[in-house]
Amino acid sequence: MALLALWKANVCSMTYTESVAIDAVAPFSLDLSAHIFREGNPKVRSYKDGCFSQVIDVEGKLVLAKLCANGPEDKPELMLHLHANDKLSADQAKKAEQVISYIFSLNLPLNAFYEKAKADPIMTQITQKLYGFKFPTTPTVFEALVDAIVEQQISIKVARAIEDRLAQKLGQALTVNGETFFAFPTPQLLAEAGADAIRQVGLSQRKADYIYGAAKLIVDGKLDLEHLKNHKSPEQIIAELDEIKGIGVWTAELTMLRGMQRLDALPADDFGIRRVISRYYCGGKPINAVQARQIAQGWGDWKGLAGFYLIIAEALNITL
**What's the structural domain count of the chain?**
2
Whether residue 96 is found in the same domain as residue 23: yes
pLDDT tens, residue by residue, 257-271: 999 999 999 999 999
Q: Please check the confidence at residue 13 and state whether its pLDDT lies above 50.
A: no
Whether residue 9 is found in the same domain as residue 100: yes
18 within domain boundaries = yes
| Side chain identity, residue 110 | L
Q: Give exposure, 136-145, as e/b (b: 16+ Cβ within 10 Å).
A: bbbbbbbbbb
111 within domain boundaries = no
CB-facing half-sphere around the CA of 212: CA atoms within 13 A: 17
Contacts of 97 (CB under 8 A, 6+ apart): 2, 20, 22, 80
272 within domain boundaries = no
Range of the domain at 172: 141-224
Whether residue 86 is found in the same domain as residue 14: yes
From 191, 224, 257, give the residue that closes a domain: 224
> Domain of 21: which CATH number?
3.30.310.20
The pair phi, psi for residue 135, each rounded to 5°, is -65, 140
From 105, 122, 156, give the residue that closes a domain: 105
> Domain of 194: which CATH number?
1.10.340.30
From 177, 199, 224, give the residue that closes a domain: 224
| Side chain identity, residue 12 | C
| Side chain identity, residue 52 | F
pLDDT tens, residue by residue, 20-65: 999 999 999 999 999 999 999 999 999 999 999 999 999 889 999 9
In the chain, DSSP finds a helix count (H) and a strand count (E) of 14, 8
pLDDT tens, residue by residue, 300-316: 999 999 999 999 999 99
Whether residue 19 is found in the same domain as residue 70: yes
